Amino acid sequence: MGKSVSILFASLLMLLSAVNNAIGQGPFSGSRDTVTSPPRIYAMVMGISTYKYIRPLTYADSDAELFRDFLKSPAGGSLKDSSIYFLENEEAKQASFWIKGLSWLNAKNLQKGDKLYIYLAGHGDAINEDEFFFLAYDCNPAGDKNNYLITGTVQLYNLKAKMKRFVQKGVDVVFIMDACRSNELPGGGDGQQILNQAITEQKVGDIMMLASSAGQESLEDAGIGTGHGLFTYFLVDGLSGMADSTGVVDGKITLTELKSYVSKSVSDYAQQKYKRKQDPVFCCDADNQKVVVNVDTAFLRKWILSKKLRGELNRGRSNSLASRTVKTRGKYDMAADTIILDLYNKFNRAIKDLNLTGTDNSAESIFNEMNKIAPASTYTHDAKYSLAAEFVNFAQSKVNLYLEGKDVASIQRIRSQLDDDDKTDEVGSSLDRMEKVARQDFSAVGEMLDKALTYLSTEEESDLLSLQAMDFFFKAHGYFDKGGAKQIDLKQAIQFANTAYKANPKAAYILNTLASLHLDNNKPDSTIFYGKKAIEVAPQWRYPYANVANAFGKMNKTDSAISYFQKAIAIDAKRA
C-alpha cells in the first residue's frame, strides 16, 4: 500500500487474504492445462456517473456499458456475462470492487496466456505520488483529500500491485482508466498533476491506456455515439476495426495502430470542437506490434452502419457554443445542496433520454425548478448551458435529417430493411433518436432555439449569429408543418426566411426554404433563383431540384421541368 496505510485498508487486505486462502482450497485451485484449454479473457468494468456525495458526471456509466458491450461482441472476444464483473453507479461501491470483485477474479484462477481487462470510468484524484485513487460511488471526501484513505475509493497503488502478481504469472493485463481532470477535487491542481504521472510511473508489466495526460481534462460529448467520453468512444471505435486503417490493413490491430488512431482522433476532436488539449496516454508494453484484437468484419460493418446513421462519418460541424458547454469528467462542489444534487442527477438522466422539453420530467422543467431554488448554484449554471447545448444539438440534428432527405417514413423504412445481424442495440438507439428528431415540428425546434438563445444572451453577439440564422430558418419552415393550424402565414414565413438568408446566405437549407416558400407564393422565378443557389451549395441534395422542377412546371417549361425531376430522382436513387 502507500505510505499512509489506513486501518480500513489493512482490514480489507486481511479480508482479501482470507478470501484468497479459502479460494485456494476450493475447486478452482491448481493449474489449468494451457495446451488443451485455450487462453481465456476476463474483465472488471466499473463506471460511475451518479455519485452519492460528489458532483455527478454524464456519460461515465455509458462509457462502461459501451466497453462492456464491445467485449461481449465478436470483435471483443464474445465474452459471456459470467466473464465480466460489471459495476455501475450505486452498485460501484468500494467493498463491491475490493472484496466481492477481487474474490470473483481470484476464483477465475487466471493462468499464463489469459487476458484481463480492468476498465474504470469516473472520478480520480491523488494525495501524493504513493496515494492515488479512483473514487467509488460511496466516496465522501468532505473537502479533505486525506479522507480518501478512510472513504470509498479504489487505491490504485494496491490495484497495480495486484496486477503485478497476475503479470508475473504470465497473464496479459490491460488497464484502462477514463477519469476526471478537475482541480476542484480536494486534491486540487497538484492532485490532478500527480494522478496520471503516478499511475504511469508504477510500471508492473501491464498495458496502460489513460484518457488524458497529466493536468488535462477528460472531455465528454453528447454528439459522439449516444453520448460518451471522447477517449472511451474512440478507443472502442479503434478496437472495433477503425484503427486498422492507421497501418497495414490486415485485419489485425496492433498496439501501435490503436495508440496512433485513438491519440489522433481524441486530440483532433478536442482541439477542433473545444479548443482544448486532450492527449491520451498509452504505456509500457515493449512489443508495440503486439496484436490487441483481430478485426471481426461483420461487427465492423454494423459499427460503421451505426456511425453512418448518426452522421458521424461526415462530421465536421461545430460551433462556438460547443466550447462553452463541454462536459468534463466532473468538478466537485464541496457545498453541494442535496436537493439541487438530486435534481441535477434527474436533469442528466433526462438529457441522456433526449427528454428535453414538454413534460414534468423533462430536462427543461427540471432546470426551471433548479433555477427557482438555487439560481446561483454551479449545478444550475451547468444545467443551463447543457440544456442550451442540447437544444442546439437537437436543431442541428433536424437540419441534418432535412439535408439528408430523411423523414419519419424513410427512417422507418431503414429500420424495416435491416438484416437481423444489423439490429444491434446501438443501431436501434440511433434510429430511435433519429425518429424522435424527425417527428418534432420545425416550429417546435425553433422554440427550442429561442430558449437556447435566451440562455446564451450574455455571450458575444458574433458567436450567436449562426444560431440566430438557424432560428429564423426553423420559424420560416414552420409554415410547412403538418397538422393543426399554422402558427405563421406565408408573408411572415418569407420575412423570417429572408432574415435567415441575410445572416447566412450560403446555407443550402435556408436557400431551399426560400425556394419552397416562393413556390407556394406562386413566384416561380424566385423559386428557380433560390433553388439553383441551393443546388450550387448542395449538388447532391434532391429537394432543391424538385423545387426548381415544380417552378418550371408552373411556367409550362416542360423540358426543363422533366430535366430537373430526373436529376432529383437520380440523386434519390443513389441514397436509397
The reply to whether 141 falls in a domain is: yes
The reply to whether 526 falls in a domain is: yes
Last residue of a domain, one of 253, 281, 301: 301
φ, ψ for residue 459, nearest 5 deg: -75, 165
pLDDT in tens, 402-418: 888 888 998 898 888 88
**Cα separation, 345 vs 501, whole angstroms:** 40
Contact 238, 272 (CB under 8 A): no
Strands (DSSP E) contained in 267-329 are 281-283, 291-294, 327-328
pLDDT in tens, 348-397: 889 888 899 988 899 999 999 999 999 988 788 888 888 888 888 888 88
**Angle, to 10 degrees, between the axis of helix 378-404 and the axis of helix 461-477?**
50
Residue 208, C-alpha cell as written in the block: 496502460
User: Cβ atoms within 10 A of the Cβ of 66, count?
Assistant: 24
Cα distances (Å, whole numbers) of residue 365 to 340, 359, 370, 441: 13, 7, 9, 20
Q: What is the pLDDT along the chain (576 residues), one digit of tens a residue?
A: 444 434 333 444 444 444 343 333 333 334 455 555 789 999 999 999 998 878 888 899 999 999 999 999 999 999 999 999 999 999 999 888 988 898 899 889 999 999 999 999 999 988 888 888 999 998 888 778 788 887 889 999 999 999 999 999 999 999 999 986 455 666 666 666 788 788 888 888 889 999 988 778 888 888 788 889 999 999 999 999 999 877 677 889 999 999 999 999 999 998 888 888 899 999 876 677 888 899 988 888 888 888 777 766 544 434 444 444 455 554 444 344 678 888 988 998 898 888 999 888 999 999 999 999 999 887 888 888 888 888 888 888 888 888 888 889 988 988 888 887 777 777 888 888 889 999 999 999 999 999 999 988 765 565 577 788 999 999 999 999 976 555 688 999 999 999 999 988 988 899 999 999 999 999 999 999 999 999 998 898 999 999 999 999 999 999 999 999 999 999 876 654
Containing H/E element for 282? strand 281-283
Residue span of the structural domain in which 181 resides? 39-301
**Cα separation, 274 vs 117, whole angstroms:** 30
Last residue of a domain, one of 268, 285, 301: 301
The reply to whether 256 falls in a domain is: yes
The reply to whether 473 falls in a domain is: no
CA angle, corner 74, sides to 34 and 111, nearest 5? 20
Paired strand residues for 115? 41, 172
Last residue of a domain, one of 251, 268, 301: 301
Q: Which of 42, 46, 20 is nearest to 153 (CA)?
A: 46
30: left (phi over 0), alpha (psi -120 to 50) or beta: left
Q: What is the pLDDT of residue 30?
A: 40
Q: What is the pLDDT of residue 235?
A: 96
3-state SS of 74-107 is: HHHCCCCHHHEEEEEHHHCCHHHHHHHHHHHHHH
The reply to whether 449 falls in a domain is: no
Which CATH number is 240's domain given?
3.40.50.1460
Which CATH number is 542's domain given?
1.25.40.10
User: Cβ neighbours of residue 227 under 8 Å, at least 6 residues apart?
Assistant: 58, 59, 62, 220, 221, 352
Give pTM, 2 decimals: 0.65
Residue 354, C-alpha cell as written in the block: 433526449
The reply to whether 343 falls in a domain is: no
Identify the DSSP state of 136.
P
**Cα separation, 458 vs 325, whole angstroms:** 14
**What is the chain's length?**
576
Q: What is the pLDDT of residue 336?
A: 47
Containing H/E element for 373? helix 363-373
**Cα separation, 223 vs 217, whole angstroms:** 18
CA angle, corner 554, sides to 549 and 557, nearest 5? 65
Contact 140, 173 (CB under 8 A): no
Output the CA torsion sign for 311, 314, 317, 318.
positive
At position 349, the amino acid (one-letter code) is R
**Cα separation, 398 vs 437, whole angstroms:** 6
Q: What is the pLDDT of residue 515?
A: 96
Structural domains counted in the chain: 2
User: Cβ atoms within 10 A of the Cβ of 65, count?
Assistant: 20
Q: What is the pLDDT of residue 234?
A: 95
Residue 26, C-alpha cell as written in the block: 476450493
The reply to whether 428 falls in a domain is: no
| Helices assigned H by DSSP within 138-243 | 156-168, 188-201, 230-239
The reply to whether 320 falls in a domain is: no
